[in-house]
Amino acid sequence: MTLYICGNSHTRALRAGAMYLEEHEGAEPMVVFPLGTADHEAAPFSEIVDGQVVLTNDRFHKKLKQFFGFSSFEPQHRWGICLGNHNSRIFRHEGWLSAAPTWMNAKGKTPVSEALFQRIVEDDQIYIRRFLTQLISTGVRPFVISAPWPVRPDPELTGIKLSHDVIKAIDTRARVLFSEWLAERDIAIVTPPVDTADEDGFLKPDFAKGGDDPCHGNNKYGRAMMRKVLAHEAKMAQSGENVTRLA
């Protein structure tokens, strides 16, 4: 069965990784293309029409047709969805310059309670969660491919002036909340390889796109991530089950 992978701009690194693995490591052919940027996740982009999920965002819809040849998502296809854990959209909000999650006990910062933080994450992911729920309800059994670990920001290049400790606290908790939501719905998530993170949980420079890019992995990261994706898929095929695993 052909593996199809689509999603936001983090899919570009996955595409480069997939092409490398096909050419140099004998991986089975797969179809991997980004549909658009993470900005498109912040508005409704999908709905169910005649029992199938279609993309209502014009860019997403056109890319799905152009690169995959589909107008909708059908149950007979195997989909990896690279959406979720793009948490820079959360921590780049200027409100965090004077606030911090309450569990950090950060002096001089306005505490953000666990309940409020959960609401922030839910609001950020509302349309991603809606899309995944629609897929499940129409018989499609996708798995999710996480965005990379956060990139340690250089304020001069990225404009992100937030404390690294606050960034990491936000990102770590948001990932846990998303994984818990997925687990409740038996949706597997493939998380970034552990060895692509430094000792503080940020993406290692060797795996980051670099320069003024605040969030993307490079082609080397894409290769590492796609190896983990294919290992996950091989494990699922061997078991004959489609059950949730935090890979």
**What are the extents of the domains in the chain?**
3-92+126-161+175-239
Residue 31's contacts (CB-CB under 8 Å, 6 or more residues apart) are 2, 3, 4, 5, 67, 68
pLDDT computed for residue 247 by the predictor:
45
Looking at residue 155, its amino acid is P
pTM: 0.92
pLDDT band with cut points at 50, 70 and 90 for residue 241:
low
pLDDT computed for residue 158 by the predictor:
52
Over residues 79-127, the pLDDT tens digits come to 999 999 999 999 988 899 999 999 999 999 999 999 999 999 999 999 9
> Is the pLDDT reported for residue 242 higher than 70?
no
Class of domain 3-92+126-161+175-239: alpha beta
> Is the pLDDT reported for residue 196 higher than 90?
yes
Over residues 202-227, the pLDDT tens digits come to 999 999 998 888 899 999 999 999 99
Please count the residues of the chain: 247
Between β-strands 143-145 and 78-82, what pairing exists: parallel, antiparallel or unpaired?
A: parallel
> Is the pLDDT reported for residue 153 higher than 80?
no
**Per-chain mean pLDDT for the chain:** 92
